[in-house]
Amino acid sequence: MRHGTLASPVLRRVRPLRVGVAAVVALATLAGCSSLSTTQSGAKTTTLTIAMQQAPPSLDPAQANNTFWNYFDLAYDPLIVMAPDGTFHPGLATSWSYGPNNESFSLKLRSQVRFSDGTAFDAAAVKTWINYALKYPGGAAPGYLGALTSIDVTGPLSLTMNFRSPTPNLPLVFSQLLEVGEIGSPKGITSKTLAKGTDGAGEYQLDPAQTVTNDHYTYVPNPHYWNQPAIQWKKVVIKVIANPNAALNALVTGQVQIAENLPITDASAAKSAGQKIVAPLALMMALDLFDANGKLVKALGDARVRQALNYAVDRNAIANLLGKGYGAPLGQMAIKGDDAYDPAIENQYAYNTARAKQLLAQAGYPNGFSFTALSWNQVQQDTMTEALAGQLAKIGVTLHPDIKSNIADVTSGFSSTNYPAAAISWGRLPAVFQYQLLWGPEAAQANPFRIKSPELDAIYDRLVRAPNSQSGAIAQEMMRYLMQQAWFIPVAATPLAVFYSPTVTNVNATQTRIQDYAVEVRPASSPA
């Protein structure tokens, strides 16, 4: 009899065990319920928790790697603050100006400012810092300030930087966006404490006692901060959550208030759970046609062929595929809001396979040709490359995607001259920097064949010397030339999405400033 079985002594002995297990689970649940609600209610008024997918290799802001912006922004005020509308405002510098030909740059600094170690912030400290950042292995400063020849300290709170060649866009360089102006303390440099701690003139400082490297980083108010009323939070925690799904769950359950750079594919799930999203277009998804001189693939040396490839791309289709409704077709190597963006050429290569075939035939490739493109299985590069391969096949061109899973393979592939083309997901920058980093002859990685054009160089030369009022027109001229030469196949602009809780506000990632700035974030109930 089954009933007899259930009444057996053995199972009667098991029952207390079941009850015990159930009790433990219930205890855990109850304990959890009470602690979770405490945390949630506390977070609304005292603690801001931000989920980042990665921890930085070092906390030293000299690396100026804006992949890790929150770790630095909290503890290091920049010399110049970039507002959400893209305009520049005083930070640790109260005013700034360019000298003739953009070959010098003068700054006046804020008085009564101290680093978190208590030492004074002044012109000498800025000079020490910039010289240190220029020597930092792998740091970004040399890329932006490579032409710097000297820094003259003209007063306790004023200095002038001198450059051997015109160096525009320094307000952007010294803003929180590019981080070179986030100044660390000279004392931190000499004591070599910046890699594992913070020592800046920012609102917060790292609390090592509440920090576990690679897991969570706790920032507490800096007692020496020059503008104490601006400090909003008693504690800001950056929680490292590599798994995007886990980060979304943490947001939905109130463990974090902001989750940075989650996949846009999670947008609908987040929205339906009552979360908010800002998703400015931030990345240019494109194919970089390295081999524009035709060394590896002769056909790519002909501008008509490169133009044909551009005509063969249905950008709307790929933008929808990649952006899930938050993306946009990309008709040039700039996004609306960038200085080089020219609305007149956005549809220059509107989808037209007949025109593409005609150009291929004129160039002597009526039956097409084949080439290989390096790609990466991250940031949707693989999806874009495969979609491109499908579309180019319609004009007889065979694109072989060589998709790597390891970033090291991708970077070494870029610096080799083994690939005629590569997929890129490139960030937005002024045209001067794009020239230096992406399409100019000295671009370290993205122009491995060192393709050079005297016309392009001449435009660049005018651009770097131009005053701010004229630079936009020249940057657009550069873009028109570049797209005429078709060194790239721009495909789609995709967003960097920030998901955040309705309990906070001022999560200002915008079309003109694509990264949010943690010190601006406020509780939703508080005035902005």
Identify which range of 244-252, 296-304, 502-510, 513-521 contacts another protein by CB under 8 A: 244-252
From the list 324, 294, 289, 326, the residue with the least C-alpha distance to 483 is 289
Nearer to another protein, 131 or 213 (CB): 213
Side chain identity, residue 290: F
Considering beta carbons, is residue 252 or 359 the nearer one to another protein? 252
User: Which residues, 374 to 413, sit near another protein by CB under 8 A?
Assistant: 406-412
Contact residue for another protein among 107, 240, 264, 483 (CB under 8 A): 240
Give dist(CA 510, CA 521) in Å, integer: 14
- 8 A C-beta contact, residue 201 and residue 207: no
| The one among 316, 358, 445, 512 contacting another protein by CB under 8 A | 445
| Number of residues near another protein (by CB under 8 A) | 63
Q: Which of 48, 52, 61, 65 binds another protein (CB under 8 A)?
A: 65
Q: Which stretch binds another protein (CB under 8 A): 113-121, 181-189, 381-389, 443-451?
A: 443-451
Binding residues among 177-196 for another protein as defined by CB under 8 A:
195-196
Matching residue, tokens 């979770």? 36
Query: CB of 339: closest distance to another protein in angstroms?
Result: 21
What sign does the dihedral 350-355-357-361 (CA atoms) show?
Answer: negative
What's the closest the beta carbon of residue 294 comes to another protein, in angstroms?
Answer: 24
Closest CA relative to residue 258, chosen from 509, 498, 5: 498
For residue 140, state whether it binds another protein (rule: CB under 8 A).
yes
Q: In 3D, which of 377, 381, 361 has the Cα closest to residue 369? A: 361
Six-digit token pair at 81?
Answer: 């603050």
Q: Is 7 in the site for another protein (CB under 8 A)?
A: no
523's tokens = 């509780």
Return the residue of 22, 23, 31, 230 that touches another protein, per CB under 8 A.
31
Distance CA 269, CA 516 (A): 22
Give yes or no for residue 19 binding another protein (CB under 8 A). no
User: What H or E segment, with its residue span, contains residue 191?
Assistant: helix 186-191
Chain positions 271 to 290 lying near another protein, rule: CB under 8 A, are: 273
Chosen residue from 19, 444, 458, 473 binding another protein by CB under 8 A: 444
Cα distance between residue 168 and residue 489, in whole Å: 27
* 250 near another protein, judged by CB under 8 A: yes
265 binds another protein per the rule CB under 8 A:
no
Cβ neighbours of 85 (radius 10 Å): 10
Query: Taking CB under 8 A as the rule, does residue 415 contact another protein?
Result: yes
Q: Which of residues 23, 34, 223, 461 is near another protein by CB under 8 A?
A: 34
- Contact between 220 and another protein by CB under 8 A: the answer reads no
Q: What is the rounded end-to-end Cα distance, in angstroms, of the chain?
A: 72
Shortest separation between residue 525's beta carbon and another protein, angstroms: 22
CB-based contacts of 372, cutoff 8 Å, min separation 6: 399, 400, 401, 402, 419, 420, 421
Three-point CA angle 283, 287, 293, nearest 5°: 135
The 3-state DSSP class for residue 230 equals helix
Binding footprint of another protein on the chain (CB under 8 A):
2, 5, 8-11, 13-14, 17, 21, 24-25, 27-29, 31-36, 55, 57-58, 65, 67, 137-138, 140, 143, 195-196, 212-215, 239-243, 245-247, 249-250, 252-253, 255, 273, 406-412, 414-415, 437, 444-446
